[in-house]
């Protein structure tokens, strides 16, 4: 896929990996829809950065866990930009709960995490499917190595990303040949989301030292793979692990 003149809708793109992804698509020639749930100021900043790159940008609030809101997000995108060529399901959430502390996992944790991390991408794909079929477009889901290795911020988070990996394959089969669906599964990403952890710098250093390539992901690393997946015309149903080799370390 040639990105020039195309439209990319990136959920959760106010900051971090989502922001870098929005900017990467803009550099490639796309107009971009910047979606956010709560971070309005940061989302507007991202949209301004896209415009400074010479591309159109919409800034639209929508909670991806709300099916009606997601349908309105897609409807607004089509009304103003007339097409959707790439959908990036980047919005995500978690709860930080040690895996062994089972009693600390409540129904609210399961409901919140599955609603955003699993139902949200499904809602977005369903709402955008007709537009993506028309454009011969692509979906990229932002997963996590937590869904591959079962290590991560909490058991519900790991389960949500494992389910997202499976849904990526299922959707790729269901929506072919018009729409390609892939996922990227990053390891530790150096963003403010992880910086809320106690002992962040120590965890980052430990993660880098454990990985064969001796480094962790930066948001721009993930954004590059997302763009590659969106533009690779013969790839579908794949989950690409991006973790410096951590999952193969012994």
Angle, helices 67-81 vs 120-135, to 10°: value is 30
3-class SS letters over 140-170: EEECCCHHHHCCCCCHHHHHHHHHHHHHHHH
Q: Which helix (H) or strand (E) holds 31?
A: strand 31-36
The answer to whether the CB of 139 falls within 8 A of the CB of 97 is no
What amino acid positions are annotated as catalytic residues?
157
Q: Which residues contact 220 (CB under 8 A, 6 or more apart)?
A: 20, 24
How many other CB atoms sit within 10 Å of the CB of residue 71? 16
DSSP string, 172-233: HHHHTTT-EEEEEEE-SB-SHHHHTSTTHHHHHHHHHHHSTTS--B-HHHHHHHHHHHHH-T
Alpha carbon of 215 to those of 37, 129, 141: distances in Å?
30, 37, 23
């Amino acid at each position: 896929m040639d990105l020039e003149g195309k439209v990319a809708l990136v959920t959760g793109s106010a900051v971090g990996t989502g922001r870098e992804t929005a900017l990467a698509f803009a550099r490639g020639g796309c107009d971009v829809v910047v979606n956010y749930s709560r971070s309005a100021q940061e989302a507007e900043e991202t949209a301004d950065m896209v415009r400074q790159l010479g591309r159109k940008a919409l800034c639209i609030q929508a909670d991806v866990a709300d099916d009606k809101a997601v349908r309105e997000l897609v409807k607004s995108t089509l009304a103003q930009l007339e097409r959707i060529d790439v959908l990036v399901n980047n919005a995500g959430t978690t709860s930080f709960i040690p895996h062994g502390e089972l009693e600390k996992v409540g129904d609210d944790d399961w409901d919140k995490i599955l609603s955003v991390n699993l139902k949200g991408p499904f809602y977005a794909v369903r709402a955008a499917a007709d537009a993506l079929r028309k454009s011969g477009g692509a979906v990229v889901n932002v997963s996590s190595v937590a869904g591959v290795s079962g290590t991560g911020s909490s058991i519900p988070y790991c389960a949500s990303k494992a389910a997202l990996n499976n849904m990526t394959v299922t959707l790729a089969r269901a929506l072919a040949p018009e729409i390609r669906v892939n996922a990227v599964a990053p390891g530790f990403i150096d963003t403010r989301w992880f910086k809320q952890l106690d002992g962040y710098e120590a965890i980052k250093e430990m993660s880098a030292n454990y990985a064969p390539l001796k480094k962790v992901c930066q948001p721009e690393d993930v954004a590059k793979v997302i763009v590659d997946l969106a533009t690779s015309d013969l790839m579908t149903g794949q989950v690409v692990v991006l973790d410096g080799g951590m999952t193969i370390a012994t």
